[in-house]
């Protein structure tokens, strides 16, 4: 339980490259115990930590893996959140077309689940992608 709390708190605080192994350890533990849902959560948070540590391609892979797990487990809301985070990482990597697709998918999921706040955030990210694509 402490690991989950660290991940949730750690996802919203700045990290250094040295701190990235902590969420990676959590992914390993949840994978070993067969807890797919928490593995997905840890992967999504690992992606955020990797992104902040300028390891964007690794972040993209972590977010993609999280999306896959949330699709498998049927957690549409976290799937949307992971897609939104994936879109941010793809944009940072200069892969704007893929970022747009990820954000469009996130918007659709948030509409489906009725989460207007997250829908707005994903729409904002989508608009930023489309704007950067035009310049």
Task: Tell how far CA 124 is from the center of its chain.
Answer: 16
- State which fold the 2-134 domain adopts: 1.25.40
Mean pLDDT, residues 39-65: 94
Mean pLDDT, residues 127-131: 90
Nearest to 81 by CA among 40, 50, 52: 40
Does 11 score more than 80 pLDDT?
no
Model pTM? 0.83
């Amino acid at each position: 339980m402490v690991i989950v709390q660290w991940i949730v708190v750690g996802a919203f605080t700045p990290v250094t490259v040295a701190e990235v192994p902590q969420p990676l350890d959590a992914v390993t533990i949840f994978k070993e115990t067969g807890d797919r849902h928490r593995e997905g959560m840890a992967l999504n948070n690992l992606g955020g930590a990797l992104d902040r540590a300028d390891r964007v391609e690794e972040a993209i892979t972590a977010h993609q893996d999280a999306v896959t797990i949330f699709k498998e487990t049927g957690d549409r809301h976290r799937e949307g959140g992971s897609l939104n985070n994936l879109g941010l990482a793809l944009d940072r990597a200069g892969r704007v077309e893929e970022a747009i697709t990820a954000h469009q998918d996130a918007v659709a999921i948030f509409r489906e689940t009725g989460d207007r706040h997250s829908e707005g955030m994903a729409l904002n990210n989508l608009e930023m992608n489309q704007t950067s694509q035009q310049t």
